[in-house]
Amino acid sequence: MTKDACKKLVIDIISDIAPDEDLSNIKPEVRLRDQLQLDSMDFLDIVMELRKRHGIEVPEADYMQLASLDSCAEYLTPKFQAKG
């Protein structure tokens, strides 16, 4: 999976969790919580959906790796590649 595909996957999850958010102008380098009305429960929902939909485990110690779309892609791409 490419980094762009990872970003789209995260955006798809966010659109399901926060359907009222405008996701069309997300800046990939800016923290998601600085751009969107996401609270800590929404963030946990993102982590849960990654596990449920894709079998990707994100330990709590790594949550900060998911702060922005760019960091999500950096963190998740190798995990998807390892899954094969």
> 46: domain range?
3-83
83 pLDDT above the threshold of 90: no
CATH code, domain carrying 29: 1.10.1200.10
Give residues with Cβ within 8 angstroms of 33, minimum separation 6.
43, 67
Q: How confident is the model at residue 16 (pLDDT cuts 50, 70, 90)?
A: very high
Is this structure's pTM higher than 0.85? Answer: yes
Instruction: Tell me the angle at which helices 3-17 and 69-83 cross, rounded to the nearest 10 degrees.
Output: 110
pLDDT at 22 over 80: yes
Domain count of the fold of the chain = 1
* pLDDT 10s digits, 23-78: 999 999 999 999 999 999 999 999 999 999 999 999 999 999 999 999 999 999 99
Is the pLDDT at 84 greater than 80, yes or no? no
